[in-house]
């Protein structure tokens, strides 16, 4: 009987160990990870999985990270290692190595040759602030190509950066994006746009006087304040009729916030757009949900800047998620902030060239429009139009899809592509890059680009639209200040009350248990 029990025990142990070994071997390739964060921050997106699946050769990632890092960078290193483990789990072609260049002179020389330079950082050591030299970069090697991320200081957008670099390495046939300026006056600065596009595409400027080259996959066009010559219009029409795709930024009104002057634009470009059923109005759209401008205000003997809401800068969060193709661009997008946009009306006139027209986003349902007597003052006392809201949302971006698979996408903000305008706002950059990816037929990075949380305003601070409509801007600011103070006080008092209440509850429970024990043993 003893022998039988002993043999059974040995068989059980062997079977258990064998099962655990098989389970571990299997789980290396078949696994599932639960990520309960709002934007799945700790899991790779489907876009990254799609990009990594295209690796047909070894991708080597060399991470040059110092070991002795300040505390705030310790989490960045751990997160980076975790996310690289995720990439390696997706593909056997991904290998990564961590190196500390400061530990070896030869490693330090290799880091420099790979394009990773040390940076100076302040750190607290032994109650003193010291300046340390640290390495915080990585190099990706694929075949005979190399991509560098020279500095990693935060986890925000890290997956996007890595996946972008991998995509750039494996993307042999990059598509070409062209930029055409229609205005005859000084051309806007577009360095931010150029930098973004050069990461994913071949980028070139297009002369409006010459025919558009056939290798331009997507054409970006900045708006004009005057009429353009017929040859340029013919070039644009021919480009679309060849089945190509275009993103056009054009306002209906020319504005100058410095002088607070605005004038309707007189141009033949409106006839060009209307031909594709995009009827751009010569007005300005206002919205109660809007961005701020700085206003100089006198307080006693002093003069100071104060941020006030400016309805000419609508914060758009009403996207067309019901159209399948539009949803690709705006899915998971939080907001877009056009500056001085105009209303777009979708023309119902049938056109054999146009298959259908859809809107991309609208202003909120507490909007208004200014069609004449343009006044740009942010002061409700001087500008009565700021109180004349309450209308339904106005279309600010729309897309005309042609029968030949070409597409004309219109944003009613001429300065959307400029550094001084739309490209100075991160949310706008995300939308723009999503739109270019969609028009180029390259959707791998769209959902990944929109994952980072950028705006989470407290809805409790937003006054109801019917209440706002009857108040001046000064009254709105005072009411919001009161709400903020109440919530700050609640944040200070409620946690303390909860802790004290929990302590009293625990004391009461322990006292009751002590009484029970006393009755048992006495």
Each residue's pLDDT tens digit, 242-274: 999 999 999 999 998 888 889 999 999 999 999
Domain that holds residue 77: 46-168
| Residue 61 falls inside a structural domain | yes
pLDDT grade for 5, boundaries at 50, 70 and 90 = low
Q: Which residues contact 113 (CB under 8 A, 6 or more apart)?
A: none
pLDDT digits (tens, 9 = 90+) for 180-196: 998 877 778 888 899 88
pLDDT of 59: 93
Residue 36 to residues 39, 42, 43, 98, 222, Cα–Cα distance (Å): 8, 9, 10, 28, 42
Q: Say which residues have a Cβ less than 8 Å from residue 339's Cβ, sequence separation at least 6.
A: 312, 313, 413, 415, 416, 421, 422
Could you tell me if 424 and 483 lie in one domain?
no
Q: Is 142 a member of any domain?
A: yes
> If DSSP codes are grouped into helix, strand and coil, which group holds residue 179?
strand
Residue 460 has pLDDT above 90, yes or no: no
Of 282, 269, 254, which Cα lies nearest the Cα of 342?
Answer: 282
More confident site: 74 or 428: 428
Judgement on whether residues 78 and 223 belong to the same structural domain of the protein: no
The pTM of this model reads 0.75
Residue 301 covered by a domain: no
- Domain membership of residue 398 (yes or no) is yes
- Asked whether residue 343 is domain-assigned, the answer is yes
CATH number at residue 125: 3.40.30.10
CA–CA distance, 172 with 57 (Å, rounded to integer): 14
Structure tokens at 373: 């007597």
In a domain, 21, yes or no: no
Give yes or no: residues 268 and 401 share one domain: yes
Higher pLDDT, 291 or 474: 291
Packing angle of the helix pair 71-90, 158-170 (nearest 10 deg): 40
| pLDDT value, residue 1 | 47
Q: Would you say residue 72 has pLDDT above 80?
A: no
Q: Is residue 3 part of a domain?
A: no
DSSP 186: P
Tell me which H or E stretch contains 182. none
Q: Which residues fall within 8 angstroms of residue 277, CB to CB, at 6 or more apart?
A: 346, 347, 348, 349, 351, 354, 357, 400
What does the pLDDT read at residue 249? 95
What average pLDDT does the segment 210-220 reach? 92
Domain boundary among 438, 456, 474: 456
Statement to judge: residues 121 and 262 lie in one domain:
no
Instruction: Read off the pLDDT band of 407 (50, 70, 90).
Output: very high
Calculate ∠ Cα 333-336-341, nearest 5°. 150
Same domain, 353 and 215: yes
> What is the 3 state secondary structure string of 24-74?
HHHHCCCCCCCCCCCCCCCCCCHHHHHHHCCCCCCEEEEEEECCCCCHHHH
Which of 377-386 are b and which e, b meaning 16 or more Cβ less than 10 Å from the residue's Cβ?
Answer: ebebeebebb
What is the number of alpha carbons within 13 Å of residue 395 lying toward its C-beta? Answer: 18
Distances (CA, A) of 78 to 35, 44, 400, 416, 422: 17, 16, 47, 38, 35
Question: Three-state SS for 348?
Answer: coil
Computed over every residue of the chain, the mean pLDDT equals 84
Alpha helices for 59-216 (secondary structure H): 71-90, 105-113, 158-170, 191-198
Q: Which residues pair with 86 in a beta bridge?
A: none
Strand partners, 176: 202
Q: Which of 221, 161, 200 is nearest to 410 (CA)?
A: 221
Element at 335 (helix H, strand E): none
Determine the Cα–Cα distance for residues 130 and 124; give it in Å rounded to an integer. 6
Residues 268 and 146 placed together within one structural domain of the fold: no
Q: Is a pLDDT exceeding 60 seen at residue 466?
A: no
Query: CB within 8 A of 129, min separation 6: which ones?
Result: 122, 123
H helix or E strand, kind and range, residue 245: strand 245-249
pLDDT for res 400: 95
Per-residue pLDDT tens over the stretch 479-509: 777 877 888 888 888 888 889 998 898 888 8
Pairing type for strands 145-149 and 128-134 reads unpaired
DSSP collapsed to 3 states, 352-385:
CCEEEEEEEEECCCCEEEECCCCCCCCCCCCCHH
The reply to whether 12 falls in a domain is no
Radius of gyration from C-alpha coordinates of the chain: 30
Q: How far apart are the first and last CA of the chain?
A: 49
Q: Which residues of 274-291 are buried (b: 16+ CB within 10 A; e: fewer)?
A: ebbbbbbbbbbbbbbbbb
Number of domains making up the chain:
3
Q: Percentage of residues in the chain with pLDDT exceeding 70? A: 86
Please say whether the beta carbons of 363 and 287 come within 8 A.
yes
| Confidence grade of residue 316 (pLDDT, cut at 50, 70, 90) | very high
Residue 492 sits in the same domain as residue 509: yes
Do 343 and 364 form a contact (C-beta atoms < 8 A)?
A: no
Last residue of a domain, one of 168, 192, 220: 168
Please tell me whether residues 58 and 125 are part of one structural domain. yes
- 230 with 104, same domain? no
CATH number, domain with residue 214: 3.40.50
Burial of residue 330 (number of CB atoms within 10 Å: 0-12, 13-18, 19+): buried
- What local confidence, expressed as pLDDT, does residue 247 receive? 96
- For residue 339, pLDDT over 60 is answered with yes
277 and 357 in contact (C-beta within 8 Å)?
yes
Residues 148 and 226 in one domain: no
Identify the band that residue 388 occupies on the pLDDT scale cut at 50, 70 and 90.
Answer: confident
d(CA 400, CA 392): 22
Greater pLDDT, 420 or 384: 420
- The answer for 357, left when phi > 0, alpha when psi is -120 to 50, beta otherwise, is beta
Whether residue 266 sits in one domain with residue 189? yes
Domain boundary among 134, 152, 168: 168
Q: Are residues 196 and 326 in the same domain?
A: yes
Residue 206 CA to residue 181 CA, distance in Å, equals 8
């Amino acid at each position: 009987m003893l022998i039988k029990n002993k043999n059974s025990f040995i068989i059980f142990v062997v079977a258990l160990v064998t099962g655990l070994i098989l389970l571990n071997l299997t789980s290396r390739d078949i696994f599932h990870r639960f990520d309960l964060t709002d934007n799945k921050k700790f899991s790779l997106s489907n876009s990254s999985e799609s990009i990594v699946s295209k690796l047909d050769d070894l991708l080597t990632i060399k991470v040059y990270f110092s070991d002795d890092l300040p505390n705030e960078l310790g989490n960045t290193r751990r997160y980076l290692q975790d996310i690289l483990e995720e990439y390696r789990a997706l593909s056997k072609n991904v290998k990564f190595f961590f190196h500390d260049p400061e530990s070896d002179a030869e490693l330090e020389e290799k880091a420099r040759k790979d394009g990773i330079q040390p940076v100076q950082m302040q750190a607290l050591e032994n109650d003193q602030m010291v300046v340390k030299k640290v390495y915080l970069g990585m190099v990706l090697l694929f075949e005979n190509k190399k991509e560098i991320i020279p500095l990693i200081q935060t986890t925000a957008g890290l997956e996007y950066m890595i996946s972008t670099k991998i995509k750039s390495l494996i993307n042999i046939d990059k598509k070409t994006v062209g930029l055409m300026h229609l205005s005859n006056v000084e051309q806007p600065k577009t360095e931010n746009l150029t930098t973004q596009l050069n990461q994913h595409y071949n980028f070139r400027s297009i002369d409006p006087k010459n025919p558009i080259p056939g290798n331009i996959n997507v054409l970006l066009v900045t708006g004009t304040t005057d009429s353009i010559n017929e040859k340029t219009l013919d070039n644009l029409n021919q480009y679309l009729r060849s089945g190509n795709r275009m993103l056009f930024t054009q306002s209906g009104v020319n504005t100058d916030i410095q002088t607070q002057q605005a004038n309707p634009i007189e141009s033949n470009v409106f006839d060009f757009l209307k031909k594709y059923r995009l009827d751009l109005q010569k007005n300005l759209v206002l919205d109660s949900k809007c961005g701020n401008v700085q206003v100089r205000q006198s307080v006693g003997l002093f003069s100071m800047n104060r941020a006030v809401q400016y309805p000419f800068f609508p914060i758009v969060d009403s996207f067309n998620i019901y159209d399948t193709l539009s949803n690709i661009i705006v899915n998971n997008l939080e907001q877009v902030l056009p500056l001085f946009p105009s209303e777009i009306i979708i023309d119902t006139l049938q056109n054999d060239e146009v298959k259908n027209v859809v809107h991309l986003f609208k202003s909120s349902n507490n909007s208004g429009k200014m069609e004449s007597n343009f006044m740009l003052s942010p002061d409700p006392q001087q500008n009565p139009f700021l109180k004349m809201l309450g209308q339904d949302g106005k279309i600010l971006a729309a897309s005309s899809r042609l029968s030949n698979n070409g597409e004309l996408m219109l944003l009613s903000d001429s300065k959307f592509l400029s550094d001084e305008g739309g490209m100075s706002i991160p949310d706008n950059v995300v939308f723009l890059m999503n739109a270019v990816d969609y028009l180029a037929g390259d959707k791998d990075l769209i959902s990944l680009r929109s994952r980072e949380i950028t705006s989470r305003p407290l809805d409790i601070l937003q006054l109801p639209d019917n209440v706002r409509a009857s108040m001046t801007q000064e009254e709105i600011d005072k009411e919001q200040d009161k709400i903020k103070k109440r919530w700050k006080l609640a944040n200070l008092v409620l946690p303390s009350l909860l802790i004290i209440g929990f302590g009293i509850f625990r004391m009461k429970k322990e006292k009751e248990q002590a009484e029970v024990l006393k009755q048992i043993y006495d």
